[in-house]
A and B are shown apart, each in its own frame.
Chain A
Amino acid sequence: MSPLELVDDRFGELARELHAARPVAPEGLRERVRALAPPAPRRFELNLRMLVPAAGLAAIAVSLAVAGGIGVLHSPKSTEHGTIQARRPVARLAAPVPQAESKALGQRVFGATLAPAAGRLQQYDANLTVRVDNRDDLSKTTQDALRFTRRLGGFVVWARYAAPSDRGASELALRVPVDHVQQAIAHFSAYGTLVSQRIVLKDLQQRVDGLTARISRLRAEVAALKEQLGRVLTPERRALLEQRLQRDQAQVALLTRSKAASVRRASMSRIALTIADRPKPAAAPGRLGRTLHEAGSVLARELEVLLYALVVAGPLLLIGLAAMVAGRVARRRSDERLLERS
């Protein structure tokens, strides 16, 4: 349908006349237009419609490349990662001693620490924790500790061996003749890495000497009482002396048992030995996984920065956009007024 047909019937004749008499471009103008030479091709034409998406894509590509590059460069190698994981718990417990050094150190450390004094009765308590490499070593060293204790003339008070799936340990309460305690500690320390060692020495000689003196005094008193009872005495006096004799004899027996216990205690040292195997290192993520993790972190940081920039620059961008729209509207109105005047 021709636009002319849409015009009100009143203006039909007018419209037809206008259309029929439409101006035609003169031949001179036609020649001028034909003669227009195309502009020299530009090497680089700034086209915002293409530039903005291209800049956006370039920014995304650069962000991904930076994130990927940092992810690859900063992700630790798997062996380093595993070592770090395995060492952490040990570092928290005590400064680890390598196994080869630990054997020698067992001798040196022991020599430098408390040793039972020869000729004196002493209570000797030792607490050792040794870490072995694996579950097999744990089993072997536990059995060896039991055998070695017996070979030294000692015995096992109690033993506990637990080896669940993740981590195993054995705890042994041992009694070793004090003459062989240095040998035992050196032997146990050499099982693996010596994690901790605690030795407590308590002198019992004075106590035993005191008991011996008291027992001697009481025995002398007992002998004196027996001599008095051999004489002629009044019944009351005899009853009193017999009562004192019984009391002193009971006291002597008690002190003698106590002295014997102290001497026994001084003859056997107490060793609490804990043997544990190394915890299995946590399954370290693969290199690709770590790289992706690092890259994800960098991307998240970039998004944070972008969000920050948007929050800061957002109001300014909105103001700029509003000014641009207002400028266009003003220019359009200005154009309309100009055409109204012309």
Chain B
Amino acid sequence: MTLRRRISAVKPSAQDFAEAAERHLDDVHAFLVYLTGDRNVAEDLTAETFARALERWRRYDPRRGSARTWLCQLARSTAIDHFRAEERRRRREGRWALDTPASEEGVFGEGLSPELERALSRLSASEREVVALRIVLELDGESAARVLGISATACSTRLSRALQKLEREVSADVAA
């Protein structure tokens, strides 16, 4: 294989980005919905994530992971920036309690039971993101761990705890 061919095999093109965006838009959006718990914010962050991805697309190296994993990493860092900015804004304005979004129906997906919807909204963003990556997006443990920046074992443990908490919340809601 010539050097030029090798480079073209590694170096992604704009066409590749369009295909990757079309293929993984739902994944990134779903991940951000789970992470933020807010569909509107998730939509904005999804658009911002893909805008960033388009800027950095030349730096994406397929040998280091799939496009979906890379996009999820980018989405997570975009969401964290958003959370940080929001926290600063709330601290500055003293409106934390007022701005906490009220639980709305159908945030985490169409057709979810109300108990599960409410249970999900009671989980932290940290717990929801591992559920989103491993259950909703069906990422393997290695890829999910890479997105979260932790080891595969830690990722598995975190998923197990999140699911236990989710089940407890659902059971408590049903019992109530």
Contacts and interface: CB of A to CB of B under 8 A. Distances in A.
Contacts of A88: none
A239 B18 CA distance: 152
A219 B10 CA distance: 127
Contacts of B58: 45
B29 A29 contact: yes
B112 interface: yes
A33 B26 contact: no
Contacts of A164: none
Interface in B1-60: 14, 17-18, 21-22, 25-26, 29-30, 33-37, 39, 42-43, 46-47, 50-51, 54-55, 58-59
Contacts of A339: 35, 80, 83, 124-126, 129
A30 B25 contact: yes
Interface residues of A, number: 39
Contact of B39 (A23, A38, A340): A23
A20 B46 contact: no
Nearest to A24: B26
Contact of B141 (A3, A11, A332): A3
A231 interface: no
Contact of B126 (A2, A30, A34, A340): A340
Interface in A301-342: 332, 335-336, 338-342
A3 B139 contact: yes
B126 A336 contact: yes
A29 B46 contact: yes
A339 B54 CA distance: 26
B105 interface: no
A7 interface: yes
A2 B17 CA distance: 26
A341 B141 CA distance: 24
Nearest to B58: A45
Contact of A3 (B35, B47, B140): B140
A17 B112 contact: yes
Given A7-B135, A18-B131, A18-B136, A342 B83 contact: yes
Nearest to B28: A25
A26 B33 CA distance: 12
A151 interface: no
A3 B50 contact: no
B138 interface: yes
A22 interface: yes
B78 to A, nearest CB: 12
A114 to B, nearest CB: 87
Contacts of B145: none
Contact of B138 (A2, A29, A342): A2
B47 A19 contact: no
A332 B149 contact: yes
Nearest to B139: A3
Contacts of A7: 134-135, 159, 163
Contact of A14 (B22, B25, B108, B116): B116
A21 B59 contact: no
Given A38-B54, A39-B54, A33 B59 contact: no
Given A3-B141, A29-B25, A39-B55, A23 B47 contact: no
A3 B134 contact: yes
Contacts of B83: 338-339, 342
A25 to B, nearest CB: 4
B160 interface: yes
Given A7-B163, A18-B116, A338 B135 contact: no
A317 to B, nearest CB: 25
Interface in A38-52: 38-39, 45, 47
A29 B136 contact: no
A73 interface: no
Given A11-B163, A18-B135, A21-B112, A29 B47 contact: yes
A177 B141 CA distance: 116
A339 B134 CA distance: 17
A292 B62 CA distance: 45
A36 interface: yes
B109 A23 contact: yes
Given A14-B170, A21-B110, A342-B83, A36 B126 contact: no
A19 B134 CA distance: 10
B153 interface: no
